[in-house]
Amino acid sequence: MKADLIELGVSQTTLGQEEKDFLDKNGYLNLGQLLSAEMLKRILAKVDHLLQKEGQMAGAELMDSPYIKHPKEAGADRLADLVNKGEEFDLFYTHPKVLAAMRYVLGDDFKLSSLNYRAAKPGQGLQKLHVDWHDTVEPGDYKVCNSIWLLDDFSAANGATRVVPGTHLNGLLPQNELADPFAPHPDQVLIEAPAGSVFIFNSHAWHGGTNNQTDQYRRAIHSYFCRKDQPQQVDQKRYIKDVTKNRLSKAALNILEV
Ligand SMILES: O=C(O)CCC(=O)C(=O)O
């Protein structure tokens, strides 16, 4: 295993065999509640502060990217480049459990692609079933893998993410197969779990946000990773600030590839 991953606390056993088997078969995995109530409070306070501060510019870093599919998604608030917006967000790309899952899906050579906030607005947030890649891939030849960190309890009512288990293995793209990619899929599973939980989903599995039918935002952070031979969704070298560089370990900086 790469020295950087060992330094960040990843070992061969960080992910158990049952977890690996579940992820292999289904293309997603519940890592449990990795954020405490205290951590959630701090993160949400920081997110609120950033949303206020950035206003209309929130999420602007994503507009620069040729790789994003819905930069101006009307149904959701976004914040981007959280790597450079506070130490509260360091954990999202250095947590050993998340890194172990990324390594399991992408192999030893992977990096952070982007670290963004997405909040489905009340009454909105429905997305097509999609994959985060432009083509099909052979099983095992995965290019991208996402994690979603729940900042609110996720339920069927408030727009929980949906995943169609096993679709990372079927060599099919939802846009080619589904008459209506917005419609509920008979095999879809909703990620319903308490705030603080973290789910991994292989980005080649069909997935998407569902409609938030409540009057509150449904908030989450996505730490999204890609293989080292692929471009990042947000060019980390371009955005990295001295304050971030000075704060992070060499191993963490290597995950950003800066
Ligand atoms: O936030 C979610 O529930 C899923 C978001 C997603 O899949 C995306 O934005 O590509």
**What digits encode the pLDDT tens for the residues 89-117?**
999 999 999 999 999 999 999 999 999 99
**CA–CA gap between residue 182 and residue 121 (Å, rounded):** 17
Amino acid 210: pLDDT: 98
- Which atom of ligand 1 is found nearest the CA of 208? 7
The closest residue, in CA terms, to atom 8 on ligand 1 is 208
Backbone angles phi, psi at 44, to 5 degrees: -65, -35
Amino acid 65: pLDDT: 64
Amino acid 72: pLDDT: 65
Q: Hey, is 14 helix, strand or coil?
A: coil
Amino acid 56: pLDDT: 86
- Which atom of ligand 1 is found nearest the CA of 222? 1
Write out the two tokens for 128.
């097509």
**CA–CA gap between residue 186 and residue 118 (Å, rounded):** 25
Q: Hey, is 196 helix, strand or coil?
A: coil
Amino acid 36: pLDDT: 98
The closest residue, in CA terms, to atom 2 on ligand 1 is 209
Total-model pTM: 0.96
Q: Average pLDDT of 227-245? A: 96
| Residue 189, H or E segment | strand 189-190
Q: Is residue 220 within 6 Å of ligand 1 at its C-beta? A: yes
Distance 160 CA to ligand 1 centre (A): 9
Q: Is residue 118 within 6 Å of ligand 1 at its C-beta? A: yes
What is the SS3 assignment for 124-188? CCCCCCECCCCCCCCCCCCCEEEEEEECCCECCCECCCEECCCHHHCCCCHHHHCCCCCCCCCCC
Average pLDDT, the chain: 96
CATH fold of the domain at 3-256: Jelly Rolls (2.60.120)
Q: What percent of the chain has pLDDT over 90?
A: 92
Q: Is residue 162 within 6 Å of ligand 1 at its C-beta? A: no
- Which atom of ligand 1 is found nearest the CA of 120? 1
The closest residue, in CA terms, to atom 4 on ligand 1 is 209
Q: Average pLDDT of 153-173? A: 98
Distance 176 CA to ligand 1 centre (A): 19
Q: Could you report the per-residue pLDDT of 22-73, keeping only the tens digit for each?
A: 999 999 999 999 999 999 999 999 999 999 999 988 998 887 665 554 456 8
Q: Could you report the per-residue pLDDT of 190-203, keeping only the tens digit for each?
A: 999 999 999 999 99
First-to-last C-alpha distance (Å) of the chain: 20
DSSP classification of residue 26: H
**CA–CA gap between residue 12 and residue 235 (Å, rounded):** 30
The closest residue, in CA terms, to atom 6 on ligand 1 is 208
Amino acid 1: pLDDT: 74
Q: Where are the domains of the chain?
A: 3-256
**CA–CA gap between residue 48 and residue 62 (Å, rounded):** 19
Which residue among 118, 150, 151 is best mutated to probe the pocket of ligand 1, counting the most ligand atoms within 8 A of its Cβ? 118
Q: Is residue 209 within 6 Å of ligand 1 at its C-beta? A: yes
Which residue among 69, 124, 161 is best mutated to probe the pocket of ligand 1, counting the most ligand atoms within 8 A of its Cβ? 161
**CA–CA gap between residue 115 and residue 84 (Å, rounded):** 10
Amino acid 61: pLDDT: 87
Q: Could you report the per-residue pLDDT of 112-158, keeping only the tens digit for each?
A: 999 999 999 999 999 999 999 999 999 999 999 999 999 999 999 99
